[in-house]
Amino acid sequence: MGNQQFLADKIRTEEYLLNMGPQHPATHGVMRMVLKLDGEEIRDVEPVMGYIHRSIEKMCEHVSYKQAIHLTDRLDYLSSHMNNEAVALLVEKAAGIEVNDRIKVIRTIMAELTRLASHQLWWAVMGMDTGALTTFFYGFRDRELINDIFEETCGSRLTMNYSLIGGVRYDLHENFVKRVKDFIAHFKKKLPEYDNLLSNNVIFRKRTEGIGILTKEQVIDFGMNGPTARASGFACDIRKKLPYSAYDKVDFQEILATEGDAFARYKVRILEMWESMSIIEQLIDNIPEGEHRVKTKAVIKLPEGEFLQRVETARGDLGVYVISDGKKNPYRLKFRSPSFANMHGLNTMSVGTKIADLVVNFSTIDVVVPDIDR
């Protein structure tokens, strides 16, 4: 652009560093981003992580497999059920423990409810980040209903610790089926209202359309996954690629979009909420009978070798990689966290845009900072 070049030559401007510090309303947790700015335009973003690094991987080397499940709750606390399920599935597959259908169906229903709760929180915070402060209350109000369902069966609202090696900790509460069906009926009426509040709002569309575009090649190169990558057309849903638990028995679609901008990422998550509700509806009426726990040995030792288990959390593709030397503690346990992989795309998305766009981009990537730092 001719006159911008003219201004850049004649008027001396300087770049300055701005610290969106660890305590900031827009960074969804304790993460620091050092921005190099020229006026309002971003020239460079450098994320500084590690404020909540608890070294869970090192801790897991000193505890048994059963105890390692307790530590996984706090990785990505909004999908705590899927984290527990990942370690449980890995140990069951490696040690040859068979679980019955009831356990699989229960785990799938809980996983989908967790995904719904996580996406509701994302929607609430996304509205708040763009300035529509009321969405925060609406999203959290309906999330409370799911939390109450969890509290009745699992005993806690956020970090559930419900899946064990060999099953689930408690059997379903007698009210569970009825409450879930009531919730689905209620939320099916609410979700179009909520979606309407933001999607059909001109201001929101202008804030999100065309912002932070990532192409499919960039997404694959950066190793991104989850709804963030599906909005660019990369089909990476582990529930479809490598089905586990009861996902091969239900009929659902993988939501893909092609534009790759912030609005596409928003739309993908809203449509995923509909798919989650459809999965729950297919399963809730025919939960098979059976034991909720399979008998396992008191001390579980995995055979020598290495094992990998991937599950689809609300953020993306969580990979649990265990190197075992036959003892009762894992030799090396690595969590490949989806949020850490999604951070690679932030720099490319943000350079050349404004601070307000960085907030929108960061909100659509939907990271949970303890998942990055482990």
Q: List residues near another protein by CB under 8 A.
A: 16, 18, 24-26, 40, 48-50, 53, 55, 57-59, 62, 127-134, 137-138, 141, 197-198, 201, 203-204, 206-207, 220-224, 234, 241, 303-308, 317, 319, 321, 323, 332, 334, 336, 340-341, 343-344, 354-357, 359, 373
Least separation in angstroms between CB 283 and another protein: 27
Least separation in angstroms between CB 227 and another protein: 17
Least separation in angstroms between CB 268 and another protein: 18
Least separation in angstroms between CB 18 and another protein: 5
- What is the Cα–Cα distance from 345 to 337, expressed in whole angstroms? 15
Q: Please give the radius of gyration of the chain, using alpha carbons only, rounded to the nearest integer.
A: 22
Positive/negative CA dihedral, 248, 250, 251, 255: negative
Least separation in angstroms between CB 356 and another protein: 4
Q: Which is nearer to another protein, 40 or 291 (CB)?
A: 40
First-to-last alpha carbon distance for the chain, in angstroms, is 45
Q: Which is nearer to another protein, 127 or 260 (CB)?
A: 127
Q: Which is nearer to another protein, 192 or 305 (CB)?
A: 305
User: CA angle, corner 282, sides to 279 and 286, nearest 5?
Assistant: 135
Least separation in angstroms between CB 321 and another protein: 6
Q: Which is nearer to another protein, 167 or 212 (CB)?
A: 212
Least separation in angstroms between CB 354 and another protein: 6
Q: Which is nearer to another protein, 33 or 172 (CB)?
A: 33
- 66-100 in b/e form (b: 16+ CB < 10 A) is bebbebbbbbbbbbbbbbbbbbbbbbbebbebebe
Q: Which is nearer to another protein, 180 or 320 (CB)?
A: 320
Q: Is 327 exposed, middle or buried (0-12, 13-18, 19+ CB in 10 A)?
A: exposed
Displacement of CA 157 from its chain's centroid (Å): 17
Q: Which is nearer to another protein, 8 or 203 (CB)?
A: 203
Least separation in angstroms between CB 23 and another protein: 9
Q: Which is nearer to another protein, 107 or 310 (CB)?
A: 310
- What is the Cα–Cα distance from 19 to 37, expressed in whole angstroms? 10
